[in-house]
Amino acid sequence: MYIKIAFALCLLLTGCQGNSQEKKTAMTQDDQTEKKFEIVKTDAEWQKELTPMEYQVLRHAATENPFSSDLLENKKEGTYVCAGCGTELFKSDTKFKSGTGWPSFYKEIKGNVAYDVDYKIGYKRTEEHCATCGGHLGHVFEDGPEPTGLRHCVNGAALKFVPAKN
């Protein structure tokens, strides 16, 4: 009897490991490579230049409270740039209302956002950061609208908005 239970338990555990068929998107990066950024500053320099919230989000991967960003409801035409270095990250025409409480975009400005895998809360997520200074932006999820199917869920504190020039 015990042998049958042990065998059934082994089958169950083996079956639960299954092969995941996750989408392979452009948001993956080799974890083994050391990241080097164009803009490198000391911790003291970042603290001096950023607000306390910007510093916590950009340099320590903190998450601002949902619905707390002034940029959440911004509908103006322009570009969202990194609050740490000014790199252009997202265009306003890719912003959408996700209902999550954080500014959300379905597409980044190619080459200006970099990605890492993040297991900090116990499961795999794709973290995104500024490709120029390494500042933490937020995470990317595969539940966004067309045409990409991606939702870049970004901390408003990591962004500054630059209105379009008319």
Catalytically active residues, by annotation: 153
Q: Rg (Cα) of the chain, in Å, rounded?
A: 19
Q: Coil, strand, or helix at residue 61?
A: coil
Asked if residues 28 and 117 have their Cβ atoms less than 8 Å apart, the reply is: yes
The token duo for 145 is 């609208």
Rounded to whole angstroms, the Cα distance separating 93 from 164 reads 11
Rounded to whole angstroms, the Cα distance separating 5 from 79 reads 60
Rounded to whole angstroms, the Cα distance separating 76 from 96 reads 12
Q: Coil, strand, or helix at residue 17?
A: coil
**Letter for the amino acid at 57?**
V
Asked if residues 116 and 31 have their Cβ atoms less than 8 Å apart, the reply is: yes
